[in-house]
Amino acid sequence: MYRLLYSELSHILGRQVDVKIEMFALILCELPLENIENLDIATIKNILCSSDGSQINDNFQTHAMNALPKTCPICLGIFPLGQMENMFLCDHMCCLDCLKGYYRINIDKIQDHQSINLLTCFHEPHEITNETHHIFFTYLEAKVCSNSYR
């Protein structure tokens, strides 16, 4: 699979830094097929051309992984990174529609100060401290009131 991906990427993209193409082909081999089946040439070119062609950027692999479509752990849909959202106090991500649904369902469950923690993450609630209290409610208001959450 790796040789096929490397060959196709080299053929499509022409003279790129071979090391970047090799690294990207390895990254693609490690991903589930559903994460890459809708990957388009424009995205691939953007990823491979994202750093100076004469030098491999130290964070190329991280950048490439972040630029690839992600699976929403809630609905299992595949989305571009721009349609995924980090939870407030952690790195867990889900698609925007699932985030909106999560907040709508869990807002109804708030009965006391401790249950507000349910809104911090769909995977594991985090404690809202005095330092994060104001920021959290500003964040939540922005998410609930934005056009993408209506």
| pLDDT at site 75 | 94
| pLDDT at site 54 | 47
State pLDDT tens for residues 89-123.
788 899 988 988 888 888 888 888 777 888 888 88
Mean pLDDT computed over 73-101: 86
Does 132 score more than 70 pLDDT?
Answer: yes
Phi, psi of 86 (to 5 degrees): -80, 145
- In this predicted model, which residue has the larger pLDDT, 94 or 131? 94
Q: Which of 21, 18, 23 lies closest to 9, judged by CA?
A: 21
Mean pLDDT computed over 54-69: 70
Mean pLDDT computed over 8-36: 76
Q: Which of 94, 98, 104, 97 lies closest to 140, judged by CA?
A: 104
| Residues whose CB falls within 8 Å of the CB of residue 137, separated by 6 or more in sequence, listed in order | none
Least confident residue range of 8-12, 15-19, 110-114? 15-19
> For all residues of the chain together, what is the average pLDDT?
77
Q: Confirm if 100 and 142 have CB atoms less than 8 A apart.
A: no
Q: Confirm if 123 and 90 have CB atoms less than 8 A apart.
A: yes
